[in-house]
Amino acid sequence: MELIWDGITEALRLIFSGDAEVYEIMLLSLAVSAAATGIALVIGLSIASFLAFRAPPGRMLALSILNSGMALPPVVVGLVVAVMLWRTGPLGQLHLLYTPAAIVIAQAVIATPIVTALSVVALQTLHPKLRLQVLALGASRWQAAWLLFREARLPLLAAVMAGFGAAISEVGASIMVGGNIKGSTRTLTTATVLETSQGDFETAIALSFILLALVYAVTLTFTIIQQRRRAS
Amino acid sequence: MTQPKMGVRGVLVERAGHRILFVEELDVSPGEVLAVVGPNGAGKSTLIHVLALLERPSAGEVLFDGRPVRDGLLSYRRRMAVVFQEPLLLDATVESNVGSGLALRGVPRAERAHRVRRWLERFGIAALARRSARTLSGGEAQRVSLARALALEPEVLLMDEPFAALDEPTRQALIDDLDRALAETGTTVVFVSHDRAEALRLGDRVAVIIGGRIRQVGPPSQVFAAPADEEVAAFLGVETIVPGRISAVEEGLAVVEVSGCRVEAASALEGQSAGEVLVCLRPEDVVLSPAEDRPAATSARNRLPSVVRRVVRSGAQVRVELDAGFPLVALITKQSLEELSLEAGSRVVASFKATAVHLIPRHARPQSPTG
């Protein structure tokens, strides 16, 4: 228990002393996971709109695959992405392995099924004729999409938060494709694993606390956006 | 004849191999209100979707101002407005809902605010302007939906059962408001309904759609007086429906001029002392008696000397089509037919009580109906 207290104290010290390395790790974690969530959102909303509004044949199959995709083990994703990015792999020419971009790709793969599956449900909560009404009001395709996403903003923001949560909290994929290189691909989770393996539990706990605080800050922002209109 | 505002040619809609709708030709003139009536599942909503360019037919085309609509659907959609059975409001305030279509169409803010205010007032919902649309009752929400459509000042207004989900008093009040608004704006309207009373109330012309096909199109009085076939008659209910004009109202009794004849009706119309009406009479309420009879002392306020035009037997009942100065239908038994020995050309007196007459008010529209 004392260890945890020491860890939290250390975390606060690292944050308020402006420790450059910790800030770098924190910002990289945030940037990488935000980018991955952004990619997942663009892909997810496109697929979800197609599945929810067009009701194509095979929707059930697609949804069941997406739903199991929510349980995609990060280690498996990391392994597959790493194989793809190996110098001899199909995407080896891009030289992305052990760069932050590789982590973004892996995290996007993890977050996309989550964002997509939850977005489909979010859009399905809308009245089936609302899309027709919006088009009849004179909306272009993009205007219609924007209006419908805005109508479904509560569950859609939940999908975003779930996707971001999955991205920033995973460690298996980041280690495999990023390699936990100091000053380059070290994130809060990979750093925590490293400190733990080296027996520096106090720093590990401090990093964990910083990760939780970061997740909370981001989620709080989304929650405020999500619930703002509800209150009125 | 003026060029139709909108129409369809050879429109076929098939879903999963089933023919949902097939309309060879249907036109609506500028400023006309076309009421499309039919039972549930007749293809009415599909017709509205096709006209609104929200559903592409399997074959055929939609005409707008006489030209086939092939591409640039968005620009055509922006000249129309659609009201569905459900209000389908956005999760925003009432005023922002009413302004939403205008915003999408790029109407400048000042003009938008002006039109929103005007239509909120027209539909009696100005007090709800700042309310969240989620807190509205069904009737209020449908008012917002209508205001949102009319604020667009569309060239063509399409409505799919806009009153079906409302309770009776709410429905009547809303129909009154809409009727006034349409009379004022001269908007071309196509609306579908399963309720024939709504069609009579608002329609300049009525189209009857059954089983995905338009069976009959014409002025309400004509369609209701002479259904094209049995299915149409069964759906409409055979009735005498003739246009008339109220000339006086005395103690709840309206005197209506119908083609030079005087018909008395126990009027339920509040505050209506003059104006155009449709006179509706069920055939089973019409009593026939020999022409030479002395006028017996009965409580029937209306006794019209008539000539039998046609006698149609259907089962135990006989439908007698009369000329009373206007077309009138009576439903009598086979026994009565034999006792009165009626045939085409027979002279009879048709009687009916003032309470059996139902009046439907008609507002004069800027453009008179064609056909």
Tens digit of pLDDT at every position of chain B (371 positions): 589 999 999 999 999 889 999 999 999 999 999 999 999 889 999 999 999 999 999 999 999 999 999 999 999 999 999 999 999 999 999 999 999 999 999 999 999 999 999 999 999 999 999 999 999 999 999 999 999 999 999 999 999 999 988 888 888 899 999 999 998 998 999 999 998 888 888 999 999 999 999 999 999 878 876 677 767 877 887 568 888 898 888 777 889 999 889 999 886 555 556 688 888 888 888 999 988 766 667 788 899 999 999 998 877 788 899 999 998 989 899 889 988 888 899 999 999 999 888 887 776 555 444 43
B317: Cα within 13 Å, side-chain hemisphere: 10
How far, rounded to the nearest angstrom, does the alpha carbon of residue A156 sit from its chain's CA centroid? 14
Rounded to a whole number, what is the distance in Å from the CA of B90 to chain A's nearest CA? 7
Q: Which residues does A contribute to its contact with B (CB < 8 Å)?
A: 127, 129-130, 132-133, 135-140, 143, 147, 150-151, 229, 232
User: How is residue B101 written in tokens?
Assistant: 């279509």
**Inter-chain touch B82–A147, beta carbons under 8 Å:** no
ipTM above 0.85, yes or no: no
**Inter-chain touch A132–B80, beta carbons under 8 Å:** no
* Predicted TM-score of the model (pTM): 0.81
**Inter-chain touch B52–A136, beta carbons under 8 Å:** yes
* C-alpha to C-alpha distance for A163 and A114, rounded to whole angstroms: 6
Closest chain B residue to the Cα of A129, Cα to Cα:
B88
CB nearest to B81's CB, from A136, A139, A143: A136
* C-alpha to C-alpha distance for B56 and B11, rounded to whole angstroms: 9
Q: Please name the residue ranges forming H helices in A50-152.
A: 59-69, 74-85, 100-124, 130-136, 141-151
Contact call for residues B225 and B329 (beta carbons, < 8 A)? yes
Count of CB atoms situated within 10 Å of the CB of B180: 12
What is the three-class DSSP state of A139? coil
Q: In what order do the strands lie in the sheet with B18-28?
A: B67-68, B59-64, B6-15, B18-28, B213-218, B205-210, B33-37, B188-193, B156-160, B80-83
Closest Cα to residue B215, out of B235, B195, B193? B235
- Find residue B244's DSSP bridge partners: B277
Q: Which residue reads 């599942």 in tokens?
A: B41
* C-alpha to C-alpha distance for B61 and B66, rounded to whole angstroms: 11
**Inter-chain touch B54–A127, beta carbons under 8 Å:** no
Closest chain A residue to the Cα of B99, Cα to Cα:
A137
